[in-house]
Structure 1
Amino acid sequence: MFELVDSINDSPVIKLVGVGGGGSNAVQHMVQSGIEGVDFICANTDAQALKGMHAQTVLHIGQSITKGLGAGANPEIGRQAAMEDRDRIQDLIEGTDMLFITAGMGGGTGTGAIPVVAQIAREMGVLTVAVVTKPFPFEGNKRMRTAESGIEELRGHVDSLITIPNEKLLSVLGKNISLLDAFRAANDVLRGAVQGIAELITNPGLINVDFADVRTVMSEMGLAMMGSGIGRGDERATEAAEMAISSPLLEDIDLAGARGILVNITAGLDMAIGEFEEVGNVVRSFAADDATVVVGTAIDEALEGELRVTVVATGLGQQAQTHQLRSVQQAVQQRAVSAGASVYAQGGPGGHHQSSPSQHSPYANYDKPTVQRKTARSASQGTGPATNGHDVEYLDIPAFLRRQAD
């Protein structure tokens, strides 16, 4: 006999923590957007700034350190404030399955405290995704360096990281856009990420995507991008997919070689199987050969004539770095082989070809450090650098590459 246990909550718990002034403002924007299935938290050292927040939970951190007056653009103060209330932060994260954290980097509280929040979440086994902004260029080099240092520290404590440079707001939206609309556009990137993933997990569809799928794609993947697009007309599937992977406000990143890809396709009852294939072709164009690709589809009758695609791509940049590294390695090895062949063809002092490579081989004593070989050669042949007959400083080639050439 089977007994139905209805006390188990099978819905994943998703929370968003906005840290500092910029992060709290982003959360406020999300609350006003009416997103369901997400718990919102604001954490700041500025008590006055927290008074206007409408999140479910407001956390004033570092009261004894800052006296409620903020971190004074000092990330160390922000870090100490988060450490002071580490237990309270942990209590708020308890029971969370997926945590989004956001902050404007370059200031004090956001830059200093968000790595601490991320570290606490990761230690608790929570899937953690950060969405952060970088300062405008006119805010100065010091603030930009502070932001980049904070982002680098944050990178080591999150599963996936999405970066939005404020500079993009100027280049994409134009200088005449209002400041309010510009920041609203940046916050919409965060809203799209949170809302898109929340809907993927909580809304049933023809092809369901559950939280385990999301964890597979986003866990320990590093640099990520998140985008969504809506298409209309005959080419709506391709149009929506291409729009989703080309968010102009995100950090300049190369999608080639993405190791994890999460795709959600939502349309009305008129969605055709060919459109499903069109979206897949767009995704396949940049995915790594061994990428983990999870695709979900849902029917929304309100989207009559429209098709919406949401894409989360993770593990970015690693394929390009690997390709560059291999290219460098191949070039160095080719240089070593060429230098070795030249030495072998040149032979001894008389320029004659050596009949046996094992006898009088130019590589015979290369197990000695280069400095010792050069010293010995300089003592016997003069003070010039050791070269072969074509004036190639082959002794500077690493020993392991010379052995390959041999």
Structure 2
Amino acid sequence: MSGWLITLLCACISTTSSAFLACRPQQAFSVGGSGTHVALHESSNKALMPEGGLSPCVIKVIGVGGGGSNAIDRMLETRIGGVEFWAVNTDAQALGRSKAKGAAVLNIGTTVTRGLGAGGNPEVGRLAAEESREEIAAVCAGADLVFVTSGMGGGTGSGAAPVVAEIAKESGALTVAIVTKPFAFEGRRRMKQATDAIARLRKAVDTVIIVSNNKLLEIIPENTPLERSFAVADDILRQGVVGISEIIIRPGLINVDFADVRSVMYEAGTALMGIGMGTGKTRAEDAAAAAISSPLLDSPIEKATGIVFNMVGGPDMTLVEVNKAAQVIYDEVDDEANIIFGATIDDDLTDDSVTITVLATGFQLDGDDVGKGPGGNDFPDFLSGQ
């Protein structure tokens, strides 16, 4: 498989091949205009690396509600080092499953819900989070970066996630929400609850990444079982967190400091995120090309004002390949965009694949356009009455 995309967007940057390869790894250089900044800090993290080679940056991932907890469970299966995982829910039974898989858990709103869930009511979810503000603040304390991940539309996720995000932001952490919007077949009420919750999230976080489950229908095979379709949606949340976290915490061929990531994500608003994969001789170019040609691309790359790009491959991945991937879509990036990228070697990779993870920020979108179709409608024709 020469090119493969699993979610929304992939972008990267380069200058000419000779200029790129001639650059000293310990230096930063600018291309494409005074505002376009590419950091090549091969050794910048090493002095700060604790034992084990991971960044001292404190990253906490808080999964809120059922969808968020499911994403946490999947992240634990991936065994990411250097990240603290929390499952926050009103459903005590669901928290038991997350705890069994190794997550720290917080049962919020025990007075409001008695551990029985929010019953699909966001107001109950909000009240549960408000009841447990002190406990949530304790979870967020000391973090440099907090991910709040959730499936929007339900009671706990829609009601509690904005409160959790607000508390995380108040703690001083860079706060990023990665959330999914429901499938259309889940109903108009659930979609409205999701839209309202996302509007509140936008006011509470630095960056919000919205993945529309409807868009997944364009890449999921028609014979995919229903349960698997929901699992894919949960896995999107996992991949977003994993991709961004690994950029920061794993030492690589080209390292990215937390300060670099913060410069792109701080108060950046709406963002798009994606992962592309390629194999074979042209794997780097194919991964980039597959990403930018995806039907999931809701907004052109050139509209982004900031991009974080990371490329992960096995020990055979070369700097030349990083450059080739960058060149594929360099012309699509705004000249004034702030570009930060890294390259990481994964010694555990046994195949010849490379993976590109990108966060593109700073889109000037009207209302809640991310994840909607060309006409701004979340519902397919057969549900919208068109």
Compared CA separation, residues 66 and 277, structure 1 to 2 (3 A): same
1:174-216 residue CA offsets vs partner (Å, 9 max, x unmatched): 3421223212222222222222222211222232111111111
Deviation of 1:254 after TM superposition, in Å, equals 3.2
- Structure 1 contact 261–292 (Cα < 8 Å) conserved: yes
Q: Which has the higher helix share?
A: 1
Q: Tell me the residue number matched to 2:332.
A: 286
**In structure 1, which of residues 196, 212, 217 is the aligned counterpart of residue 259 of structure 2?**
212
Q: Tell me the residue number matched to 1:372.
A: none
Compared CA separation, residues 195 and 181, structure 1 to 2 (3 A): same
Count the aligned residue pairs.
316
User: Does residue 358 of structure 2 align to residue 311 of structure 1?
Assistant: yes
Residue identity in the other structure for 2:333: A
Compared CA separation, residues 125 and 36, structure 1 to 2 (3 A): same
Q: Tell me the residue number matched to 1:12.
A: 57
Deviation of 1:5 after TM superposition, in Å, equals 11
**In structure 1, which of residues 127, 142, 162 is the aligned counterpart of residue 174 of structure 2?**
127
CA RMSD, aligned part only?
Answer: 2.7
**In structure 2, which of residues 132, 136, 146 is the aligned counterpart of residue 89 of structure 1?**
136
Q: Tell me the residue number matched to 1:361.
A: none
Deviation of 1:239 after TM superposition, in Å, equals 0.8
- Counterpart mapping for 1:326-365 below 5 A: none
Compared CA separation, residues 144 and 296, structure 1 to 2 (3 A): same
Q: Which runs of 5+ in 2 are unaligned?
A: 1-46, 367-386
Compared CA separation, residues 138 and 196, structure 1 to 2 (3 A): closer
Deviation of 1:123 after TM superposition, in Å, equals 1.3
Matched residues in 2 for 1:78 and 1:114: separation?
8
Compared CA separation, residues 306 and 136, structure 1 to 2 (3 A): closer
- Counterpart mapping for 1:47-62 below 5 A: 47-53=92-98, 54-62=101-109
Deviation of 1:70 after TM superposition, in Å, equals 1.5
- Counterpart mapping for 1:80-119 below 5 A: 80-119=127-166
Matched residues in 2 for 1:167 and 1:99: separation?
27
SS at match of 1:287: coil
Deviation of 1:268 after TM superposition, in Å, equals 4.3
Deviation of 1:275 after TM superposition, in Å, equals 2.7
Compared CA separation, residues 180 and 209, structure 1 to 2 (3 A): same
Identity %: 49
User: Does residue 73 of structure 2 align to residue 24 of structure 1?
Assistant: no
Q: Which structure: larger Rg?
A: 1
Q: Tell me the residue number matched to 1:184.
A: 231
Deviation of 1:298 after TM superposition, in Å, equals 3.0
TM-score by length of 1: 0.71
TM-score by length of 2: 0.75
User: Does residue 281 of structure 2 align to residue 234 of structure 1?
Assistant: yes
Residue identity in the other structure for 2:139: L
Deviation of 1:303 after TM superposition, in Å, equals 5.8
Deviation of 1:247 after TM superposition, in Å, equals 5.8
SS at match of 2:354: strand
Q: Tell me the residue number matched to 2:114.
A: 67
Q: Tell me the residue number matched to 1:38.
A: 83
Compared CA separation, residues 18 and 177, structure 1 to 2 (3 A): same
- Structure 1 contact 267–307 (Cα < 8 Å) conserved: yes
SS at match of 1:220: coil
Matched residues in 2 for 1:304 and 1:106: separation?
38
Q: Tell me the residue number matched to 1:359.
A: none
Residue identity in the other structure for 1:31: L
Q: Tell me the residue number matched to 1:201.
A: 248
- Structure 2 contact 264–361 (Cα < 8 Å) conserved: yes
- Structure 2 contact 207–268 (Cα < 8 Å) conserved: yes
Higher normalized contact order (CA 8 Å, seq sep 6+, divided by chain length):
2
Q: Which runs of 5+ in 1 are unaligned?
A: 320-406
Matched residues in 2 for 1:247 and 1:55: separation?
35
User: Does residue 218 of structure 2 align to residue 152 of structure 1?
Assistant: no
Deviation of 1:73 after TM superposition, in Å, equals 1.6
Residue identity in the other structure for 1:20: G
- Structure 1 contact 128–158 (Cα < 8 Å) conserved: yes
Deviation of 1:79 after TM superposition, in Å, equals 0.7
Matched residues in 2 for 1:300 and 1:77: separation?
43
Matched residues in 2 for 1:255 and 1:229: separation?
15
**In structure 2, which of residues 190, 198, 221 is the aligned counterpart of residue 174 of structure 1?**
221
Residue identity in the other structure for 1:161: V
Q: Tell me the residue number matched to 2:301.
A: 255
SS at match of 2:284: helix
SS at match of 1:312: strand
More displaced, 140-149 or 29-38?
Answer: 29-38
- Structure 1 contact 13–96 (Cα < 8 Å) conserved: yes
Residue identity in the other structure for 1:200: I
SS at match of 1:21: helix
SS at match of 1:78: helix
Matched residues in 2 for 1:13 and 1:136: separation?
33
Matched residues in 1 for 2:216 and 2:270: separation?
20
